[in-house]
A and B are shown apart, each in its own frame.
Chain A
Amino acid sequence: MSTEKADNMAQHMEPLTRMELVISYALRLGVLLSAAVILVGILSFAFKQDTGYARVLPHHLRDILIFHQVSGPGFFPTSLPAVLQGAMAGKPYAIIGLGMVLLILTPILRVALSVFFFLFQRDWLYVGITLFVLTVLIFSLFSGVG
């Protein structure tokens, strides 16, 4: 952002509230962290030529992308415990999976923080609306519906 633009904004708009700054930083942190983790995962995959669960020889994209495998170069972990364990052990596919989990959690974190944003403004109507949205989100995240 240029300083000229910042000056213009300061003249015309109310400054950001503390909660808006918190939300902005939380989003940035979530995005950068997940991108960094994914990058580490894909780089270690490239250097090792190994998914962490199987070796990948060059020129075998077909084997890498074959659908829903239980082993071999097409396999990757899909449960949270398996992803966490694998990432701790430095397995490239598990590290990428961890990055994906962080990416998925970022928008949900944003809605959760928005509850506090409205709470600080004493805007009870929107505290209610945001809690409703958060409830539906968590419901569909865990129930397998949606």
Chain B
Amino acid sequence: MIVCRYRQGGRGGPSVRRVNMEPLTFFVILFGSSVVAGALGALLGLGGGVIIVPILTLMAGLNIHYAIGASIVSVIATSSGAAATYVKDKITNLRLGMFLEMATTTGAVVGAWVAGLLPGRALSVVFGLVLTHAAWTMYGSREEDVPAGARGSALATRLRLHGAYFDPALNRRVDYQITGVPQGFGMMWLAGLISGLLGIGSGVFKVIAMDSMMRAPIKVSTTTSNFMIGVTAAASAGIYFLRGDIHPFIAAPVALGILTGTVAGTRLLLRLRGAAIRRVFLVVLLVVALQMIWRGVVGTVR
């Protein structure tokens, strides 16, 4: 019901219809849910839009452009808030992130060009099903802290993508090797393409590409995804800002809440075992998959 309205409302149309709560209540609820989104986002390598956008649209009946603007802010805040910790702890694989960022950014640019030509609703359903399948695959490896017996490929060696980090939960150094470079790169390109098109889910695709295809440990996958989503979002944030989609009264509680939440999220990531993070990710993965299928069927996608 509510979601259908945005499609008809569109830019400049009547948008705020159901907002009658007090500004302070709105602010506090938004801040609180952003703390949760920031903690989950820092832990799982996602932007937090998965939580922020439904809350904004359902709770406040907000214009979808303001909701997307808030989502962009939440992605950047999650990424930067978590990054300072992860750089210091050397969990993020900077080479892997930067190499894959080539695919994501070019995919996003192409996505923006062809956005009007592609069948958004059908794609949303298709990618929702892809995620469901990924969840099924991940369920099989839910007990893994670090990938068992993954051998690096020659291409990954040449690109120097292998790495190591110290895992406080296992209390040892984890050396890992990367494989499946072409598949991962292709998946990242698609992730960039659909991020412009669907607005949600690109962080999920990044984690899956690194975890399932390239066989990186889950902590490396989520923190490297965390780094990447911020860079990609910053590129498009300028446009949203100039367009006037980043509303101060919405963006302020989101940014402050997310930054607060990332402090808890980064600590959690260091302490939890890989297997525990995989289980939490699995749940969120299913939620995002259902959201995508739902949005495709109902038609909130352009």
Residues of A within 8 A of B (CB): 5, 8-9, 12-13, 16, 20, 23-24, 27-28, 30-31, 34-35, 38-39, 41-42, 45, 51, 56, 58-62, 64-68, 76, 78-79, 92-93, 96-97, 99-101, 103-108, 110-111, 114, 117, 123, 125-126, 129-130, 132-133, 136-137, 139-142, 144-146
B248 touches A140 (CB 8 A): no
Which residues of B sit under 8 angstroms from A23, Cβ to Cβ? 87
B83 touches A27 (CB 8 A): yes
A78 touches B244 (CB 8 A): yes
* Interface footprint category on B: 35 or more
B12 touches A67 (CB 8 A): yes
CA distance A93 to B251 in the complex (A): 11
Main secondary structure on chain B at its contact with chain A? helix
A13 touches B164 (CB 8 A): yes
Using A42-B252, A146-B196 as known contacts, say yes or no to A13 and B90 having CB atoms under 8 A apart. Answer: yes
Using A61-B20, A65-B19, A76-B244 as known contacts, say yes or no to A146 and B98 having CB atoms under 8 A apart. Answer: no
Which residues of A sit under 8 angstroms from B235, Cβ to Cβ? 108, 136-137, 140-141, 146
A61 touches B19 (CB 8 A): yes
CA distance A59 to B173 in the complex (A): 55
Which residues of B sit under 8 angstroms from A61, Cβ to Cβ? 19-23, 26, 60
A65 touches B102 (CB 8 A): no
CA distance A93 to B230 in the complex (A): 24
A145 to chain B, nearest CB (A): 5
Which residues of A sit under 8 angstroms from B60, Cβ to Cβ? 61, 65
Instruction: Kindly state whether residue B136 has any CB partner on chain A within 8 Å.
Output: no
Which residues of B sit under 8 angstroms from A139, Cβ to Cβ? 109
A67 touches B251 (CB 8 A): no
B136-177 vs A, Cβ < 8 Å mask (1 yes, 0 no) = 000000000000000000000001100011101001110000
A113 to chain B, nearest CB (A): 10
Using CB atoms, name the residue of chain A closest to B250: A65
Instruction: Kindly state whether residue B95 has any CB partner on chain A within 8 Å.
Output: yes
A140 touches B108 (CB 8 A): yes
